[in-house]
Structure 1
Amino acid sequence: MKRLTTLLLSMLISASAQAGVLSLAEGDDRLALDEYVFYLEDVDADLTFTEIRSSTAWQANESTFNAGYSASAWWFRLVLDNASERSLERWLELSAPLLDSVHVYVVEADKLVSRYRFGALQPFEERLLPHENFIVPLRWEPGQRLEVYLRVQAAKSLEAPMALYTPKAFAEYDYRRNAAKGLFLGAMLLIGLQNLLLFGSFRDRAYLFYVGFVISMALFLTTLTGWGFRFLWPAAPVWNEKAILLGICLVSGFGLAFIRNLFGPHVQSLLLTRIYRLAYGVTGFGMLVAVIAPYSLGLPFALLPAVMASVIGITVGILAWRRGVAIGKYFTLSWAPVFLGVFIVIGLKLGWLPANVVTRNALFAGVGLEMLLFSLALATRINAERRARLLAQRQVLETERKVKEELEERVAQRSRELDQLNEQLRILSTTDELTGLANRRILESRLAELWRDNKRKGRYLALIFADIDWFKAVNDTHGHAVGDAVLQGVADRIREVVEALGGLAARYGGEEFCILLPGYGLAVAAAAAERIRVSVGEAVYPAHGLKIGVTLSLGVAARVPDTRATYLSLLQQADQALYRAKAAGRDRVCTPDA
């Protein structure tokens, strides 16, 4: 009997819809309205409510309405009959939280009984119910007919999915929907926290940029679903509009930085470097336009970096995969859903694709799959690093075991081998791997030792800071491999001068070098610095088919150590002198006084 009643009720609703009237009964807890709605385009956005009621241009809708980007105002008409024997209460939901303007007219017996106005450009408090979507409560008596008209307009993509609920059914459905969105966004924040902890452990900037990518994506999706306007900035409708464009640009910018740092030297070329720079520039310009220009003008400049980041990501991932980079395969598989989701959403917003469950949730699905797959990729990467460390530990233990066995048989011979190994380890621990100069740790240790010794003897101690001028431009233009070759050549020139004076030369960090000259005063040290400057400046450094020339800026300081100061004061004086040399035009030697 129940099945028969349901069948008859469905036939009644269908027949009514075909006639332009939707007849409702008590059991209709939730009903999608897309196929029961009629629409009319107001091209000049100047038709009055009276004019559209008498218009004959209404068209039947067949699926979720999607006009793409349209300057027109759009009218929708829905006719509802109460076919039950009791009063009905329903909530009409328009699931398009970014619509700029929504006007609702409720007519009963040719009389306008209710009129409402709200939208994404209106303060949130003006809504009838505190919800990210637009909710219109309706109530009508048995046998009563309501005509509901909606006028919507937006500078953004215009979609108008509508559904009718009982208050209880809406509360239950909305609870499940919000729980799903909350879990999704919570998962994004947890993944962001995970990568922040990984950055703290490994100091790999790729993890930090991925944190920015995830957080920016979470904020963008929060804005896109209306939660941002509802919970974060309900009194700032103008910001609600700009947050969408800024969110797109931030996601694109962090995504580009993450991709570039993830693959580093594995996928690098001059062309790719220029493409990255262009993409960064387009992203920055898009953010500027988003702040100062209307939404309609800013949208293309926000979508362009999103498209560029998507294409660059999938391209670099495939290149890395083909070159045998371990994480390249996992990155490509995880980025592909984002790549597809971005283009599906763009097609939806432009009106090229129909609005349905798949297209409206494509970006969410793409981001979710990307996070899941990339989390697996990160786990694989971390496990690989852990296995490498364990293998190294096992190799060390195995080496120790063999050493012990051989020591029992050939103590004297093994002792000499161990002495040689210890010497090599000592050199490695005190030497900069790239240049062969002393590293910063041994420099600071030796400086403290010389400070104490020269203070006791009353002798001068000189210190020189040297910095390669415009070295970042060498790296950015020719790549790090060329930059490394230049660093090695400069180090060789410095070593020639310093060793002749019995001093110590060290790589202090990046393109900066530090030189200790015990027993020499300021004049001799400045002369030595000048010889270094000339030697480096005259040289040409061949690297990867190129011939690079660079110059040095040097700061010199010298003093007799005393009890009133520490060796840090000598470092500070030399650093100030170096700063003076750079400020004076670079390629020169300066002392604290000149």
Structure 2
Amino acid sequence: MGASPVAAVTDIAAVDTRLNLIPTLRYTAASPEQTLADIQSLSDEDWQVSKQEHRNFGHSQRVIWFHTQIIKNHLLSTPIFLRVNYPHHDYIDLYLQHGEQNIGHFEGGDERTFASRPVDHRTFLAPVKIPMGEVVDVYLRIETQGPMMVPIELLTQVEAVKDESVLLLFVGLYFGVIIIMLVYNAFIYTSLRDSTYLYYLMYMAAVAAQQFTLFGFGFQYLWKNPEILSNNFMIMLTSGLMETSAVLFVIKFIRLRRMRSRLDRFAGYSLLACCVSMLFASFFMSFSTFISVVNIVGLVGVGCGLYIGVKGWLMGFKAARLFATAWLIYLMFIGWYLLDLMAVIDSTTYGNYAIAIGSVIELSLLSFAFADRMNQEKELRLHTQATLINVQRAMNEDLDHKVKQRTKALEQANRKLEYLSTTDGLTGLFNRRHFDQEYERLYKESIKNKQSLAVLMIDVDHFKRLNDEYGHVFGDRCLIRAGELIRQALNSPPDICARYGGEEFIVVLPNVKYNQAKQVAESLRHAFANTIVRDGRVAASMTVSIGLAFTMPTNINQHEALLKDADNYLYQAKENGRNQVVETY
């Protein structure tokens, strides 16, 4: 037996574009086992009347039946469809009853295969074909674990196509913006290798995947068979991924580990643990429980993002202004969506898409926040680089000055070492080792240039007696004075003189005539004889014996012979009574 109508019968032929059926509907809750016959047998008192234009029954795991009556008083100019404009009910059954006769039964819902739907559409869309002039009872059964949202309407085929075109335009713009931001930030990530951009890419991808599922396109195009992959599971999975990646991104963006208080770190990582737990819970938790929990976690997470952004703003972190604004706007849209979902406010089409609208605004603002942070970091890097350059320049100048000082000191030390290595420490004349090198060089040059060479071997007479009588200090003073007298008598360079050993000295005169060499020798002898060496109260004179050897070198092997000749002549001078020059020509 059919139920009595509660409102005027709707003439579907009078539908120009669309007609909201909610005001004409009555509804009743039932158990899943109740059939159409059970519902038809209900009395009028078992039904409730909906007086709102947009009805949202909130979360309910009950089965709700809806009933209204329609008629077609004249031929239709265009096909008429009944649409339940929400894509995520588990089971939908539409019955068209003409008296006791069933003239139409259509199935839908995402717990059935997508192919079972009467029209290939992401929401439930069924053609309404009834006989002319006959009243037809419309029974609509909806069972779902999610929100019981029932935007039920009659609309023409043209209007249905128009609505879907507008939605596809919106969806195209939405995913176009997401893709552009994904590509842009992926390029930045590959350039900078900053893991913050990687987490942001993960967050954007998760948001896009979630919205693709919530719009109903996932079930329409990808996972069409719930026995293989459930649409409810995909909603849970993408929601868990979205919230987890969002928290990871926020933690990385605000540098939670380094910059925040211990309480902030505890709250941030606790929220991350909750999101990760929800992600794993999507594999075994019931859909209705998961949606309730994930909405609360999401609301808390966005609130934390807003708190962190405001706190960073107050701390002077410029990028936090856009960061806080992004999360504030997203929080407002999530609040709108949740109020719509829980039937606190009337359900609207815009409310169903509130998260999508809020997410694209939030992601755009976060991209601007990223750009702002990049500019700040660039300015900081430039400032730091300039500071480092100035410090480096100052260090280089200081280092250059020190290097010059050290180089100068090293050169002085080298010159001193060279002087010490070639000079007799007492007299300041060449030492024996250096004399041997210089003498051989002069001998070779004399051979090459065909020049003469004279050698004067000089010995201080009775030097041992001076040492014994006046002491070694006075003896050293005599040797120092001897060196001074020898230097004064020479034309240096090219003449060279050296302390040859003990009280013995040697002089080499290159490119001189014999008479000139003899004159130098006699001058030296007279200079010594006329010199009194004084040291305090001690004074003494000293004389020298000189052996003069002269030659025109022709053979390098004879250079030692010249020295030996000079030494022999010196010996003769000593034997002859000292204080004289013995020479040969």
TM-score where L is the length of structure 2:
0.62
- Aligned equivalents of 1:108, 1:421: Cα separation in 2: 107
For the residue of structure 1 that corresponds to 2:87, the secondary structure is coil
* Aligned position for 1:133: 123
Identify unmatched segments of 5+ residues in structure 2: 405-585
Using the alignment, how far apart are the partners of 1:205 and 1:86 within structure 2?
60
Q: Note the C-alpha offset of 1:222.
A: 1.3
- 1:255-294 correspondence runs (5 A): 255-264=246-255, 267-294=259-286
Give the superposition deviation at 1:215.
0.8
* Residue 343 (structure 1) aligned to one of 332, 335, 352: 335
Report 1:183-222 matches (<5 A). 183-222=173-212
Contact 1:30 1:166 in 2 (8 A): yes
The residue number in structure 2 matching 1:161 is 151
Note the alpha carbon deviations across 1:102-152, whole angstroms, 9 max, x for none: 111011244211112221111111111111101111123442333221100
Which sits farther off after the overlay, 355-364 or 245-254?
355-364
Partner of 2:27: 39
Q: Which of 353, 365, 368 in structure 2 is aligned with 1:361?
A: 353
Structure 1 residues 84, 328: CA separation in 2 closer, same or farther (over 3 Å shift)? same
The secondary structure found in structure 2 opposite 1:117 is strand
Tell me how far 1:390 sits from its aligned partner: 6.9
Matched AA of 2:146: K
**Is this contact kept in 2: 1:106–1:112, CA < 8 A?**
yes
1:476-491 superposed matches below 5 A: none
2:15/2:156 contact within 8 Å kept: no
Change (3 A) 1:112 1:378: same
The Cα shift of 1:358 comes to 4.4
Deviations 1:534-569 (A, max 9, x none): xxxxxxxxxxxxxxxxxxxxxxxxxxxxxxxxxxxx
Q: Distance in 1 between matches of 2:226 and 2:401?
A: 71
* 2: CA distance, partners of 1:74 / 1:314: 39
Q: Determine helix, strand or coil for the equivalent of 2:129.
A: strand
| Distance (whole Å) between structure 2 residues aligned to residue 255 and residue 282 of structure 1 | 12
Query: How much has 1:344 moved relative to structure 2?
Result: 3.0
Is 1:253 aligned to 2:234, yes or no? no
State the shift of 1:189 in Å: 2.4
Q: For residue 45 of structure 1, give the secondary structure of its aligned residue in structure 2.
A: coil
1:207 CA displacement: 1.4
Instruction: Report the Cα distance in structure 1 between the residues aligned to 2:128 and 2:401, rounded to whole angstroms.
Output: 90
| Secondary structure of the structure 2 residue equivalent to 1:355 | coil
Q: Is the 8 A contact 2:186 2:197 kept in 1?
A: yes
Read off the aligned partner of 1:261 and give its amino acid letter. Answer: K
- Deviation, 1:311, is 2.1
1:172 shift after superposition: 2.1
Check the 8 A contact 2:244/2:279 in 1, yes or no: no
Q: Offset at 1:77?
A: 1.5
Distance 1:308 1:26, change over 3 A: closer
Alpha-carbon contact 1:242-1:291 (below 8 Å) kept: yes
CA distance in 2, matches of 1:338, 1:330: 12
Percent same amino acid among aligned pairs? Answer: 21
Post-superposition CA distance 1:187-234 (Å, at most 9, x none)? 112212222222222222221111111111111111112111111211
User: Is there any run of 5+ residues in structure 1 with no aligned partner, and where?
Assistant: 1-16, 404-412, 424-594
Residue 379 of structure 1: how far off its partner (Å):
3.3
Map Cα deviations across residues 288-321 of structure 1 (whole Å, 9 max, x no partner): 2210232234334433432332122111111101
Structure 2 residue 50 is the aligned partner of structure 1 residue 58? no
Change (3 A) 1:300 1:419: farther
Structure 1 residues 284 and 375: CA distance shift in structure 2, 3 A: closer
Asked whether 1:21 is paired with 2:9, we answer: yes
Q: Distance in 2 between matches of 1:107 and 1:212?
A: 50
Distance in 2 of aligned mates of 1:390 and 1:323: 22
Whole-Å separation in 2 of the counterparts to 1:82 and 1:422? 104
Name 2:307's counterpart in structure 1.
Answer: 315
Q: Mark the CA change 1:29 to 1:419 in structure 2 (over 3 Å): closer, same or farther.
A: same
Give me the CA root mean square deviation: 3.1
- Return the index of the structure with the highest Cα Rg: 2
Aligned amino acid, residue 80 of structure 1? I
Q: Do 2:63 and 2:142's aligned partners in 1 also have CA atoms closer than 8 Å?
A: yes
- What is aligned with 1:538? none
| Paired residue total | 394
Tell me if the contact between 2:78 and 2:157 (Cα under 8 Å) persists in the aligned partners. no
1:228 aligns with 2:191: no
Maintained 8 Å contact 1:89/1:167: yes
Counterpart AA for 1:149: Y
- 1:140 match: secondary structure: coil
* Structure 1 residue identity aligned to 2:164: D
1:160-183 residue CA offsets vs partner (Å, 9 max, x unmatched):
112222222211221121221122
Report the Cα distance in structure 2 between the residues aligned to 1:375 and 1:417, rounded to whole angstroms: 45
Match of 2:107 among 110, 117, 126: 117
Q: For residue 352 of structure 1, what is the aligned residue in structure 2? A: 344
